[in-house]
Amino acid sequence: MIIELLCTIIFFTELCLRIYLAPTFYQIYSDICFWFELSSVLSNLFMYIIIEIQKYKKIYFYSCLTFISILRSLRIFRFTRQIIILKIFLYSLIHSIRQLFHLFIILISMILFFGELIYLIEEWTSDSSIQTVTDGYWLTALTVTSLGYGDLYPTHTYSRILMSICSIIGLVIIAITVPEIYHYFDRMYQNETKKRHIIRYIYSDQIALRI
């Protein structure tokens, strides 16, 4: 507990120094990692305050403590600033937000359509594991995304054929969308690699000229 408190103090001090030494306020406030770090540090401080209150008063904030413990995991986003490939991955997702939105709309439409059909077919089967339309949606979502947890499964012949068609369509749609995201990621990664090689080459030339 003491070590964790000391680490929180160090993180809080480092965050305050970053805010104070930042060239402009916009530069630091526009960084999403700053807000993740701020949330994690403030959540730690609030947790210590709540724990101290509980020592003297019978106040129980179990739900609040649970939420705060989840926010503490956001501290891992500190390392994303140092890993170039994670930055490129995030930029690729942001740039491909239109393709991801289209994929999301298509998948939702498939889940609603096939989920209702599977429910209507399985409704007439006595030993079916699909009892509600929500179960149909859940089974369709697992089938489209190729997860298949096995908690729900079709029993009727028609529903099995329907889920097979749904699985094939889902694979085709995902296979069409994902390469576009990968293509942009690969292009950004190649550009970043070339940029780093150029900077290293210029830096080595400057050292050679000084010698």
- The per-residue b/e assignment along 143-174, b for 16 or more CB within 10 angstroms, e otherwise, is bbeeeeeeebbbebeebeebbeebbeebeebb
Give the range with max mean pLDDT: 83-92, 119-128, 196-205: 119-128
> What is the model's pLDDT at position 60?
55
Q: Is the pLDDT of residue 205 over 60?
A: no
What does the pLDDT average to over 42-67? 64
Tens of pLDDT, residue by residue over 160-191, are 888 889 889 888 888 888 887 888 888 877 87
Q: Measured between alpha carbons, how far is 72 from 83 in angstroms, rounded to an integer?
A: 20
- 55 band by pLDDT with thresholds 50, 70 and 90: low
What does the pLDDT average to over 103-115? 89
Q: Is the pLDDT of residue 139 over 80?
A: yes
> What is the model's pLDDT at position 207?
55
Three-state secondary structure readout of 4-66: HHHHHHHHHHHHHHHHHHCCCHHHHHCCHHHHHHHHHHHHHHHHHHHHHHHHHCCCCCHHHHH
What does the pLDDT average to over 37-56? 70
Mean pLDDT, rounded, of the chain? 76
Interaxial angle between packed helices 133-144 and 97-122, expressed in degrees from 0 to 180 and rounded to the nearest 10: 130
* Cβ contact 89:185 at 8 Å: yes
What does the pLDDT average to over 131-148? 86
C-alpha torsion angle, residues 38, 42, 45, 51 (rounded to 10) = -140
- Structural domain spans, the chain: 2-82, 97-210
> What is the model's pLDDT at position 195?
74
> What is the model's pLDDT at position 16?
79
Instruction: Report the half-sphere exposure of 18 (CA within 13 A, side-chain side).
Output: 17
Which CATH number is 97-210 given?
A: 1.10.287.70
Q: Measured between alpha carbons, how far is 12 from 191 in angstroms, rounded to an integer?
A: 35
What does the pLDDT average to over 67-81? 62
Q: Is the pLDDT of residue 193 over 70?
A: yes
